[in-house]
Amino acid sequence: MSLVEMLKALILDSQDGRLEPGVPRELQVAPVPGKATVLVGVRRCGKSTYLSQVMHGLLARDVPRENILYLNFFDDRLHGMRHDDLGAIVEAYFGLYPAKKDTETVHCFFDEIQMVPGWEPFIDRLLRTEKCQIYLTGSSAKLLSKEVATQMRGRALSWELFPFSFREYLRFAGVPAGEALSTRGRLLVQDAFERYWAEGGFPEVAGLRRDLRIATHQDYLNAILFRDLIERHDISHPKALTDLAYWLIDNAGSLYSINGLTGHLKALGHRAPKAAVSEYLEWFEDAYFLFTVRLHDASLTRSLANPKKIYCVDHSLVTSVTSGLLVNSGHLLENLVFMALRRRHSEIRYYRTRTGREVDFAIPDRGRVPALVQVSQSLADRATRKRELAALGEAMREVEAKAATVVTWSEQEVLESEGRRIEVTPAWRFLLDGAARGAGSGS
């Protein structure tokens, strides 16, 4: 069978197939005429399902099924396809529907197109020469927004997709989460939060029993490390990268420095210079797998020179793949809060007061007072309460914030002093409300 005939068969198969819309996501993509819509995010976070949801929406608006062209480049029948073969897609589609050329909009969905090296000129040409709307997804380390911006010459807009937020998990679980919760509704939400705490946000593991969840998470990590990082960057000494990844996951929510990481790898027998360690960290972040948070400081030099904090894309993945010796529930809660904030804000920092006290998160807001968020599993212990509130209060005075938030496991209260307000809120409530509205206004 020729390539064109095989592509015709794949196009028709996809048009005959049943769409699986899955759980509605919070992400609202707004396509722009003349630009490709690019969906980026960690492997297995639901990008392909999101494409199905977009296609389902088109059909609901009476777009003919024949006007939807879907191809998944992970299909083994397309393995080995080269960039100069991509033109056969246009030939195959208009071979099936010649009357649609230049008369009707064709909605093209290309899943994992990065599997074809040199795909960018083909997409650029489609946007220039055909009446179409294009959607692209890719494994995060293969199709990154920064790369797309360069390769597509301004013809693409990228959108981030993450594993389920708590609100999305509630939709999966069939638990309503309105503004006002009855006693029963609150108990249902709290029960779902316990499950979300155990299972995390990856769609495939939702509802799985513990052993299957752990095995699935470990498979995800192996795929990220070997397919998205080691193979892509042709790393000659992959053990150094994997050892670094495991150390960072083990220390989620903790500070690190390049010198410290380089010394750790050296102690393990790896010859990884500081430049290589810095590259590995960039690749982890590019893969939407591990995230670095630097110090909030007016001086970029000081911000970059100070130790940074590390967080993982999913708190439950941390518990599935680590040794369990270093990660504690307080750091996991901090990781959970970080990801809730990261879904809403691309820039997140941590804050250190002039006396050296630390606040976990400071969210910059275009010159306005940053929103401050402190995370503490419990404030019941008097020493812990004094330490956490003192740090937050000092930070509020320094940045002139009128409000701030402390996220705990279950405690809730409001503290007001000297015209400043600190809202202590349980994690489940913060995930529903606080993260969505930016963790409280700083001014």
Report which DSSP code applies to 378.
-
CA-CA distance, 282 to 291, in Å (whole number)?
A: 9
**Alpha-carbon distance 207 to 209, whole Å?**
7
pLDDT of residue 147: 59
Tell me what pLDDT residue 55 has. 96
Task: List the one residue out of 82, 83, 69, 80 whose CA is nearest residue 12.
Answer: 69
Residues pairing with 295 in the sheet = 350
Could you report the average pLDDT of every consecutive run of 10 residues in the chain (443 residues)?
Answer: 95 93 90 91 93 95 97 90 95 98 97 86 93 87 55 80 97 88 92 97 96 97 92 87 96 96 97 94 92 94 94 96 75 97 95 97 86 97 97 96 97 93 97 65 43
pLDDT of residue 206: 96
pLDDT of residue 237: 81
What's the pLDDT at 150?
64
Q: Round to whole Å and give the CA distance between 221 and 185.
A: 35
Q: Could you count the other beta carbons within 10 Å of the beta carbon of residue 58? A: 18
Instruction: Please tell me the predicted confidence (pLDDT) of residue 179.
Output: 73
Residue 371's CB is within 10 A of a number of other CB atoms, namely: 26
Residues 6+ apart with CB under 8 A from 36: 123, 127, 134, 135, 136, 148, 152, 155, 156, 157
The pLDDT of residue 442 is 45
Structure token digits, residue 28: 């609202």
CA distance 357 to 275: 30
| Phi and psi based region of residue 95 (left: phi greater than 0; alpha: psi -120 to 50; beta: remaining) | alpha
Instruction: Give phi and psi for 359, each to the nearest 5.
Output: -115, 135
Q: In 3-state terms, what secondary structure has residue 409?
A: coil
The pLDDT value given to residue 322: 87
Yes or no: say if 256 and 308 are a contact pair by the CB < 8 Å rule: yes
16 CB burial (10 A radius; 0-12, 13-18, 19+): exposed
Cβ contacts of 57 within 8 Å, gap of 6 or more: none
**Ordered alpha helix ranges (H), 258-370:** 258-267, 274-286, 300-305, 315-321, 329-342
In degrees rounded to 5, what are phi and psi of residue 358? -115, 140
Does residue 371 contact residue 442 with C-beta atoms inside 8 Å? yes
> Alpha-carbon torsion 336, 337, 340, 343, what sign?
negative
